[in-house]
Structure 1
Amino acid sequence: MGSLTLISQQIVLYWSSITLITGVFGGIINCIVFLSLKTFRQNSCVFYLTVMSFFNIGQLLMSVFSRIMISGFDIDWTQTSLFYCKFRQMFLHLCSLMSFSCMCLATVDQFMVTSVRRRWQLFCNIKLARWLSFILTLFWILHEIPALVYSDHVVKASNKISCSNVNLIYQQYVAYVYVLLLTGIIPIIINILFGSLAYYNVRQIPYRAVPIVRRELDKQLTSMVLVQVVYNVIVVVPFIVVVILMQSTNLSRDSDTAEAFNFAYTIVGNLFYMYFVGPFYIYICTSKRFRQQFLYVICHRYYQENQQRIVIMQQIVPYL
């Protein structure tokens, strides 16, 4: 085993542990804040970000946790359970596709809600957001049926069992359509395009007759989404580049080249997973208003609820 392979295993073990803890924590806090405040619960853009947070948590728990168990403890449940082998592949694809889809919808939503055209603003409502999220989830579940069918146990030359895609055509589809287009190029183009248009619209808001509360909320959400768009480009593009290079290079001829590419794939793969980790920390760093809302929900609202429970219990205990 080469030195780069050993280094890759250590990177996966330690970096993935940090990624899992910080990502799940941030995703849970996002959901708590978004679902606790009425201002957020009635906003379609926030609804997309909330759904995205749920799928980000699912992606991290299913993928990163498995990588930690494999690299750190040599435990691979995909080798012992065919059902888990099939389900894991489908679930990971579903979480990624829904996360990227929700990010695109949030960016488009902010463009439309900040537009001067009243007709476009009418499409930004919570009811439509729920229906779109439901339809997309159902569509991507159907889209991932081949992952259930073609994922199977394969015996390698070393007599070790691995969970692999056994259909060559579907392998090409995953590499070029799923990885490069659906979770790479298409979301980046949509996010950059509509994010830029939303930024232009927000700069025009001070010259329009818009209620102050709505103006501040639109500015807050647009800044949160735009910074996340830039962040996503930084963490996703290197992964796409390395995948393209690996697909266009014959790695079977030179073991050193293959090891170097695998090492690079490990690095950019860990960077790619930061996409699922980043949202909460982006919102905290870029939005003063979100920091205040976070502190209100966590430190004030729940503190008051706990104090009320204590008072109720103190009133009940003397009668027991």
Structure 2
Amino acid sequence: MSSSNNSSLYSYYLKNVSIYGGIPIFIGGCIGGILNIIVLISLKTFRENSCAFYLTMISFVNIGHLLTGLLHRILVSGFDIDLTLISTSFCKLFQYSLQVCALLSITCLCLATIDQYFATCSHYRWREWSNIKISRRLTKIFLIIWLIHGIPCLIYFDLNKLISTKKFRCMIRNKKFSNYFIHGYSAILTGYLPIFVTILFGLLSYYNIKCLSLSRISNIRRELDKQLTTMIVVLDIFNIIALMPYPIILIIRSISSIIEDPFPAEKINFISNLTVFFYYLYFASPFYIFICVSERFRRQLIYVLFKIHLERWRRRRRISILILPH
């Protein structure tokens, strides 16, 4: 089979994956994120909890990331529409927002896992670190850090013309920053480092939960900590599965760029595009993980939707009917 036939075949498969895989992930992720936010901000137990605050932030940021990154990927791979080609400024801002959203989401997951470790510690002095005020400050600090960290994207991303296809593409025009983007940002900051942190503190939190029944904590607080720890630990496990393939393939792809034979390069490029959709499962999945692993969260979801918001809507509707002139 010729190289051109291989290329067209890979493009056809990628288009189908984008449309029939990417669109459901995008729609399901946005709906799940909205439902997460509704539940987490509607119940006082969650509003006053530092770990739940991180989960709320994750939901907000994940929706933003899906609306930028995944939607862009679906349009490019599925419909051959690249919005980053509108202008150089849009190219730069798009990559900047993409990086900030990804880093903030993964950072909040790491902070939530660490927070649950402190929350489930038997010593009161350690439990004091699980605090809503501290969580808000840390979120603001890391937001500022990642906003500053993303500034090189505004400098080094640009519209460049590819020699092979003679088409413009939003890409990095500085080799040093390109190496950092692959090995520093993609591999370490959004790959191996958060995986290491979540594994370490997830295991420690799980161990603490096993000993929690012996500690002097109220039953309500104990049940909440068990619920949140279960949700976080399972999300951490899925985080490892979803985030690991993309940085590995990205590094292989950067190495394969020196290969002269186009066939293996096309193969690696195709696999790389597939791992991107798998990568976005992390940003789309939290709500569905929570309802699968936590019966309490399922009850809370039903209570919030039907007992709080549906009843509130019915009351407003009755009032509006009563005040309407007959």
TM-score band, normalised by the shorter chain?
Answer: over 0.9
The alpha carbon displacement at 1:246 in A equals: 2.2
- CA separation of 1:250 and 1:71: change in aligned 2, threshold 3 A: closer
Within a 5 Å distance, the mapping from 1:146-225 to structure 2 comes to 146-157=152-163, 158-225=165-232
Of the candidates 130, 137, 149, which is equivalent to residue 124 of structure 1?
A: 130
Letter aligned with residue 203 of structure 1: K
Asked whether 1:301 is paired with 2:305, we answer: no
RMSD of equivalent CA atoms = 1.3
Q: Distance in 2 between matches of 1:73 and 1:263?
A: 16
Letter aligned with residue 38 of structure 2: I
Of the candidates 226, 239, 252, which is equivalent to residue 245 of structure 1?
A: 252
The alpha carbon displacement at 1:78 in A equals: 1.1
- Tell whether the 8 Å contact from 2:61 to 2:101 is kept in structure 1 after alignment: yes
Aligned to 1:164, what secondary structure does the other structure show?
strand
Cα deviation code 1:144-192 (max 9, x no counterpart): 0000111111122344221111111100000000011000000000000
Match of 1:313 in 2: 320
After TM superposition, the score normalised by the length of structure 2 is 0.95
Within a 5 Å distance, the mapping from 1:38-53 to structure 2 comes to 38-53=44-59
Out of 4-13 and 207-216, give the one that drifted further. 4-13
The alpha carbon displacement at 1:236 in A equals: 1.4
Q: Distance in 2 between matches of 1:67 and 1:230?
A: 25
The alpha carbon displacement at 1:269 in A equals: 1.4
Out of 47-56 and 72-81, give the one that drifted further. 72-81
Match of 1:32 in 2: 38
Identical counterparts, % of pairs:
40
Match of 2:290 in 1: 283
Out of 186-195 and 307-316, give the one that drifted further. 307-316
The gaps in structure 2 that reach 5 residues or longer are: none
Letter aligned with residue 298 of structure 1: L
After TM superposition, the score normalised by the length of structure 1 is 0.96
The alpha carbon displacement at 1:11 in A equals: 1.1
Q: Distance in 1 between matches of 2:180 and 2:123?
A: 39
Aligned to 2:159, what secondary structure does the other structure show?
strand
Out of 246-255 and 229-238, give the one that drifted further. 246-255
Q: Distance in 2 between matches of 1:241 and 1:168?
A: 19
Asked whether 1:14 is paired with 2:20, we answer: yes
Q: Distance in 2 between matches of 1:250 and 1:301?
A: 56
**When the two structures are aligned, how many residues end up with a matched partner?**
319
The gaps in structure 1 that reach 5 residues or longer are: none
Runs of 4+ in 1 over 6 A off after TM superposition: none
Aligned to 2:36, what secondary structure does the other structure show?
helix
Q: Distance in 1 between matches of 2:280 and 2:203?
A: 24
Out of 59-68 and 188-197, give the one that drifted further. 59-68
Q: Distance in 2 between matches of 1:247 and 1:314?
A: 64
Letter aligned with residue 222 of structure 1: T
